[in-house]
C-alpha cells in the first residue's frame, strides 16, 4: 500500500532518509543481495557450460538468458529464476488465503484473491452447516446464499489448479470459513512470507490475526474454532433477542486493539518491511508504550520512529550473526 | 518529458470483465487514453470516444502488446489507463514510456523495454522531441517506438511528407532518443528494485 505518504517536515525527512540509507548498507542475510537485482531485458549471468534451467521471469534470447521482470535473481541448484517484487500473488498448493466473495455461480462461489483470475470454492469443498458429511442436493445448492453471500470475507486453503489454469480452494476444516467482526487489509503480496503458522491468536489483545499468503490480512475479534458452525444451525428467530444482542456486541477495548493492530499492519506495509507477527506486535506495543493515539499511528512521527526501530533491530541481528 | 506530464495506471492481470472477449491462450490487453480538460492551453471538454483518443489508445495498445508476454497469463486481462495532465507535444511518446514503467513496476513480464520518441524536420534541421510550438509549425512529425535491446521497431507514425533520405536521418535521430530514454528508464527501475528489496530485508 503505497498510498500512505505522511507529510514529513524537514527533520523527519532527514531522519527517514538516513534510516533508509542505513538499511540499504546493511549486509543482507540471504543470497538475494541487492547486487543481483535486474530490470527488464537485463542479461543474467549464467555459466553456459551447465544445463541451466530457465525458470519464471526469464527468456532465452539468442542463447542469452534475459530477464523479463524487474526483480531479484534467485538460483537454486540448476534453476535460475527472477522473483518479481510488486507483482500479483503466485499461488501454491496448501497456501492459506483470505478472499472476498464476488459471485455465486452454480454449485460454487467465486472469490477475489490477489491473483490473475478469480478463485473458485466448490460447494462440495465446504463443510455444510449441520456438519453431516452427505451428498449435496439441489436444496443445498439453493441455500448457498445462507452460507456465504456476496462481499463476505472467507478464509480457505488452496487445493490445486485445474487443467484450464483456474484455482480451486477448499475450506473443509473448522478454522476456515467466514470471517466476521474484523477488518480486511490488503498489502502487496511480496511482503508476506510463507511460514508454518498463518493463524495467530494474540492473547493479550483478544484478537485474531490471519496473514493470508495472497496479501490479504484479517484482523478481527477472536472466535473459537467451532463457534461459527453452532450459530448457523439454530433458527435465529428461536433464540431470544436479548441473547443475540449480547453475543453480537464486541467490547470497545477489543475494537481498539483491532484498530491498533490494523494500523500497525498498514504502517509496516507502507514502509515496505516484511510482515511477521513479531513485527506487527512489536509495532503495536511500541505505540502503546509511547502512548500514541490510534489515529496518530499513521502520522509522520511514528512513521519515522518505526523505520528507525527497524534499522536498529536489523543491525542488532547482523551483529549477533557476525 | 519536458513540459509534457502523463499519468499511467496499470491494473492486472485480473479476471476478464467481458467474458465474450476472453482468450484461452493469452491475456487481453486493453488501453484507454484520455486528456484532462486542463491539459492544453484552452480548457476544452473532450469526448471520451473521440477519434484522436481512440486512435492513440489503439496505438499504445498495439505497441505494448508487442512486448508483453501475454501467453504467460491466459484468461486474464491487463488494463492500461493513460491520462495526459499537461500536453506540450509528444504526448503519445510520453504515454508509451510511462506505460512501460508502470508495466515493469507491476511485475508483468515483458520482452523488452519499449520506449518512444518523436523527431521532426524544420528549417532543414532534424529536431528531436518536438514540443507543441515546433509541432504546430507544420513540419513533419515522426514518432518511433522501439524495443531497445532487441533493436526492433514496434511503432512508426508520421504525418506530412518527407523525402526518403531525410526521413532516414530523422528516424535515426528518433531511435537514438529512444535509446537514451531506455537507459534512463532502466536505471530508475533498477534503483527502485534495489530500494524495495533492501527495505523488505531478510
Domain assignment present for residue A229? The answer is no
Q: Spell out which residues of chain A touch residue B192, defining contact as CB-CB under 8 Å.
A: 70
pLDDT of residue B95: 92
CATH, residue A105: 2.40.50.140
Q: Spell out which residues of chain A touch residue B200, defining contact as CB-CB under 8 Å.
A: 85, 190-191, 272-274
Q: Are residues A195 and A150 in the same domain?
A: no
Q: Are residues A322 and A195 in the same domain?
A: yes
Cα B147 to Cα B156: distance, rounded to the nearest angstrom: 12
Q: Are residues A145 and A18 in the same domain?
A: no
Cα A212 to Cα A156: distance, rounded to the nearest angstrom: 9
Which domains can be identified in chain B, with CATH numbers?
A: 5-201 (3.30.230.70)
CB A57 within 8 A of CB A68: yes
Cis peptide before B13 (omega within 30 of 0): yes
Cα B176 to Cα B152: distance, rounded to the nearest angstrom: 13
Hey, are the CB atoms on A84 and B107 less than 8 Å from each other? Answer: yes
Q: Are residues A128 and A263 in the same domain?
A: no
C-alpha cell at B180: 537514451
Q: Tell me whether strands A207-211 and A199-202 are parallel, antiparallel or unpaired.
A: antiparallel
Q: Are residues A312 and A203 in the same domain?
A: yes
Q: Kindly identify which residue of chain A lies nearest to residue B67, measuring between CA atoms.
A: A68
Q: Spell out which residues of chain A touch residue B106, defining contact as CB-CB under 8 Å.
A: 86-87
Cα A145 to Cα B78: distance, rounded to the nearest angstrom: 31
Domain assignment present for residue A273? The answer is yes
pLDDT band at B102 (very low <50, low <70, confident <90, very high): very high
Place of cell 508476506: A192
Q: Tell me whether strands B28-35 and B141-147 are parallel, antiparallel or unpaired.
A: unpaired
Q: Spell out which residues of chain B touch residue A88, defining contact as CB-CB under 8 Å.
A: 12-13, 107
Cα B125 to Cα A162: distance, rounded to the nearest angstrom: 60
Q: Are residues A314 and A212 in the same domain?
A: yes
Q: Are residues A214 and A264 in the same domain?
A: yes
Q: Which of A29, A34, A70 sits opposite B104 (nearest CB)?
A: A70
pLDDT of residue A237: 43
How big is the CA angle at A304 (ends A300 and A307), to the nearest 5 degrees? 145
Hey, are the CB atoms on B149 and A70 less than 8 Å from each other? Answer: no
Q: Are residues A256 and A191 in the same domain?
A: yes
- The pLDDT tens digits for B6-35 are 999 999 788 888 888 888 888 899 999 988
CB A284 within 8 A of CB A241: no
pLDDT of residue A283: 86
- Hey, which residues 179-198 in chain B have their CB within 8 Å of chain A? 186, 189-190, 192-198
Cα A254 to Cα A223: distance, rounded to the nearest angstrom: 12
CB A273 within 8 A of CB A282: no
Q: Are residues A113 and A203 in the same domain?
A: no
Hey, are the CB atoms on A164 and B111 less than 8 Å from each other? Answer: no
Domain of A12 in residue numbering reads as 1-30+182-224+249-322
Domain assignment present for residue A74? The answer is yes
Q: Are residues A188 and A280 in the same domain?
A: yes
The secondary structure element, H or E, covering residue B142 is: strand B141-147
Q: In this complex, is the C-beta atom of B7 within 8 Å of any C-beta atom belonging to chain A?
A: no
pLDDT of residue B139: 82
Q: Are residues A254 and A187 in the same domain?
A: yes
Q: In this complex, is the C-beta atom of A315 within 8 Å of any C-beta atom belonging to chain B?
A: no
Q: Are residues A191 and A294 in the same domain?
A: yes
Cα B103 to Cα A70: distance, rounded to the nearest angstrom: 10
Length of chain A: 322
Place of cell 540499504: A24
pLDDT of residue A245: 45
Mean pLDDT, range B106-133, rounded to an integer = 88
Helices of type H across A64-137: none
C-alpha cell at A158: 488452496
ipTM over 0.90: no
- The pLDDT tens digits for B55-92 are 999 999 998 888 898 888 888 899 999 999 988 888 88
Mean pLDDT of chain B: 87
Q: Spell out which residues of chain A touch residue B193, defining contact as CB-CB under 8 Å.
A: 37-39, 70-72, 85
**Residue B160: CB atoms within 10 Å:** 11
Q: In this complex, is the C-beta atom of A31 within 8 Å of any C-beta atom belonging to chain B?
A: no
Cα A205 to Cα A258: distance, rounded to the nearest angstrom: 8
pLDDT means per 10 residues, chain A with 322 residues, are 66 81 69 66 76 83 83 86 86 90 89 88 83 81 86 90 86 84 89 87 87 90 62 42 57 86 88 86 85 78 83 82 74
CB B90 within 8 A of CB B76: no
Q: Whole-prediction pTM value?
A: 0.85
State the nearest Cα–Cα gap between B172 and chain A, in angstroms. 22
The total number of structural domains in chain A stands at 3
CATH, residue A42: 2.40.50.100
Comparison of pLDDT for B38 and A25, the residue scoring more: B38
Mean pLDDT, range B183-193, rounded to an integer = 90
Amino acid at each position: 500500500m503505497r498510498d500512505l505518504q505522511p507529510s514529513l517536515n524537514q527533520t523527519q525527512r532527514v531522519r527517514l532518509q538516513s534510516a533508509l540509507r542505513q538499511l540499504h548498507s546493511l549486509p543482507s542475510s540471504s543470497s538475494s543481495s541487492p547486487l543481483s537485482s535486474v530490470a527488464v531485458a537485463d542479461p543474467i549471468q549464467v555459466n553456459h557450460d551447465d544445463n541451466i534451467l530457465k525458470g519464471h521471469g526469464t527468456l532465452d534470447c539468442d542463447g542469452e538468458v534475459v530477464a523479463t521482470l524487474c526483480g531479484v535473481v534467485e538460483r537454486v541448484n540448476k534453476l535460475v529464476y527472477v522473483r518479481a517484487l510488486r507483482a500479483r500473488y503466485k499461488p501454491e498448493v496448501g497456501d492459506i488465503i483470505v478472499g472476498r466473495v464476488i459471485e455465486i455461480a452454480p454449485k460454487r462461489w467465486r472469490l477475489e484473491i490477489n491473483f490473475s483470475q478469480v478463485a473458485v470454492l466448490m460447494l462440495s469443498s465446504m463443510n455444510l452447516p449441520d456438519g453431516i458429511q452427505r451428498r449435496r442436493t439441489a436444496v443445498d445448492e439453493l441455500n448457498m446464499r445462507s452460507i456465504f453471500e456476496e462481499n463476505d470475507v472467507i478464509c480457505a486453503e488452496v487445493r490445486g489448479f485445474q487443467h484450464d489454469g483456474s484455482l480451486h480452494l477448499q475450506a473443509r476444516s473448522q478454522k476456515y470459513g467466514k470471517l466476521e467482526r474484523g477488518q480486511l487489509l490488503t498489502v502487496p503480496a511480496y511482503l508476506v512470507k510463507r511460514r508454518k503458522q498463518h493463524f495467530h491468536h494474540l492473547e493479550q489483545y483478544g484478537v485474531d490475526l490471519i496473514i493470508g499468503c495472497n496479501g490479504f490480512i484479517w484482523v478481527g475479534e477472536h472466535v473459537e474454532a467451532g463457534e461459527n458452525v453452532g450459530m448457523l444451525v439454530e433458527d435465529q428467530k428461536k433464540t431470544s433477542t436479548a441473547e443475540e444482542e449480547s453475543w453480537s456486541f464486541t467490547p470497545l477495548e477489543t475494537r481498539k486493539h483491532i484498530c491498533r493492530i490494523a494500523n500497525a499492519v498498514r504502517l509496516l506495509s507502507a514502509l515496505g518491511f516484511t510482515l511477521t507477527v513479531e513485527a506487527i506486535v512489536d509495532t503495536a506495543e511500541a505505540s502503546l508504550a509511547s502512548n500514541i493515539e490510534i489515529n496518530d499511528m499513521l502520522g509522520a512521527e511514528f512513521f519515522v520512529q518505526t523505520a528507525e526501530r527497524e534499522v536498529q533491530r536489523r543491525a542488532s541481528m547482523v551483529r549477533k550473526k557476525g | 518529458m519536458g513540459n509534457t506530464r502523463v499519468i499511467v495506471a496499470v491494473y492486472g492481470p485480473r479476471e476478464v470483465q467481458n467474458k465474450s472477449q476472453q482468450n484461452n491462450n493469452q491475456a487481453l490487453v486493453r488501453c484507454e487514453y484520455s486528456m484532462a480538460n486542463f491539459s492544453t492551453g484552452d480548457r476544452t471538454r473532450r469526448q471520451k470516444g473521440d477519434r484522436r483518443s481512440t486512435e492513440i489508445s489503439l496505438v499504445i495498445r498495439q505497441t505494448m502488446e508487442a512486448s508483453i508476454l501475454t501467453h504467460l497469463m491466459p484468461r486474464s486481462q491487463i488494463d492500461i489507463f493513460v491520462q495526459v495532465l499537461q500536453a506540450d507535444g509528444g504526448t503519445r511518446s510520453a504515454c508509451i514510456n510511462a506505460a512501460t514503467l508502470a508495466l515493469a513496476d507491476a511485475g508483468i513480464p515483458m520482452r523488452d523495454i519499449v520506449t518512444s520518441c518523436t523527431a521532426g524536420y524544420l528549417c532543414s534541421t532534424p529536431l528531436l522531441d518536438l514540443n507543441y510550438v515546433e509541432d504546430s509549425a507544420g513540419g513533419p512529425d515522426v514518432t518511433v517506438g522501439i524495443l531497445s535491446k532487441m533493436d526492433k521497431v514496434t511503432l512508426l507514425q508520421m504525418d506530412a511528407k518527407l523525402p526518403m533520405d531525410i526521413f532516414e536521418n530523422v528516424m535515426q535521430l528518433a531511435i537514438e532518443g529512444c535509446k537514451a530514454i531506455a537507459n534512463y528508464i532502466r536505471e530508475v527501475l533498477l534503483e527502485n528494485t534495489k530500494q524495495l528489496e533492501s527495505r523488505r530485508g531478510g
